[in-house]
Amino acid sequence: IYGLPLNADFWIFGAPHFPGGLAIEVKWQQSTGGVDEKFPYLVHNITECYPCPALVIADGGGQRPGALQWMRDQAGDNLLAVFSLAEFLAWANRNL
């Protein structure tokens, strides 16, 4: 959103269900801190700037109460889903 080159944690190309690619962002927060404060920026960036669908893996258990649910509630359009690591592994086995 700042007009800088786009960097995602992972770019998946060649997956049959995602011919235009899939971006994966990973946010790990094991203890209280500022990672969850960046969730609104991440969601906005994904929905406004990513050239392909994206999903977020958010885990670690250190997010503030309600922060992870808020981000899950934003799924739709370009943000496909927000998963824990275990949820992502199950999803990837079925879809990638």
Tokens 């801190």 belong to which residue? 33
Domain interval for residue 4: 1-10+36-57+70-75
Domain count across the chain: 1
pLDDT at residue number 71? 96
> For the ranges 16-20, 52-56, 58-62, 67-71, which has the lowest average pLDDT?
58-62
**Is pLDDT at 39 greater than 90 in this prediction?**
yes
Give the pLDDT mean for 8-19: 95
Q: How far is CA 2 from the centre of its chain?
A: 19
Phi, psi of 27 (to 5 degrees): -125, 115
Q: Percentage of the chain surpassing pLDDT 90? A: 75
**Residue 47 is encoded by which pair of tokens?**
């929905």
Q: Is residue 51 part of a domain?
A: yes
Give the pLDDT mean for 55-84: 94
